[in-house]
Structure 1
């Protein structure tokens, strides 16, 4: 086993990845909500800008724009914090809408990503790092069982 300081990234076992799924589910659901809210706020800001500007160059609906922008910034900030928390664990959110998370791992001597999708009961798939979701394959049966001591 390589010393921790020589590792480029955390390597997960299936059990370690599965242990995070409860928290990841909540975080992904929240990210979906935040993404929808940010999209609404962005559209509101766009609509307010379309109303036009006063002769002094300020938006006609400046206060409304400022309120929408403040909410947009708050929502984006919260989303960024959640993503940073998840990434600090060593896993990667690859698609918020689909709820995809990859966990770096090693299958035999081959680097792979364990791949989990929101709604799946546990990590059941993997893919090679460059393949992504379309390259998902079922985990070998031995990987689905906890290691026996």
Structure 2
């Protein structure tokens, strides 16, 4: 996949939001199901091992959907999605973190998340 422009990445994020929202919901269900299956775990109305396996399969599908767009899923809890881009000749990753209302951050490839800066 190629590089995203800022408008392209923002548009892709809008298209991905339902997928990302479902990913967050299924992630929470899977965590609850897994905890309930641990020795001494609290039973849940969500089900048992078959439902956990189903949730894990759905998580794999959702993560694949994100990655097929050319975006990179860098974090799972919290979700962190990067869009490869070029700003003024510098390779960067446009960066969305779960809880962000829009795509408003970037960082250089060599700096990682710690080098996040706001898009102007």
Task: With the length of structure 1 as denominator, give the TM-score of the two structures.
Answer: 0.67
Structure exhibiting the larger radius of gyration computed from Cα positions: 1
- Measure the CA separation in 1 of the matches of 2:97 and 2:33: 27
Give 1 or 2: higher strand fraction: 2
Using the TM superposition, give the Cα deviation of residue 16 of structure 1 relative to its aligned residue in structure 2, in angstroms: 0.5
Using the TM superposition, give the Cα deviation of residue 118 of structure 1 relative to its aligned residue in structure 2, in angstroms: 3.6
* 1:128 correspondence with 2:120: no
Q: 2:62 aligns with which of 46, 57, 82?
A: 82
Deviations 1:96-140 (A, max 9, x none): 33332100011222211011234434322210124222211122x
- 2:44 corresponds in structure 1 to none
Q: Which moves more between the two structures, 68-77 or 27-36?
A: 27-36
Deviations 1:48-107 (A, max 9, x none): 7x9xxxxxxxxxxxxxxxx61110110011111010011000001222333321000112
Task: With the length of structure 2 as denominator, give the TM-score of the two structures.
Answer: 0.81
**Is the 8 Å Cα contact of residues 106 and 112 (structure 1) preserved in structure 2?**
yes
Unaligned runs of 5+ in 1: 1-8, 51-66, 142-149
CA RMSD in angstroms, aligned pairs only: 2.1
* 1:44 correspondence with 2:41: no
**Is the 8 Å Cα contact of residues 41 and 72 (structure 1) preserved in structure 2?**
yes
Unaligned runs of 5+ in 2: 42-46
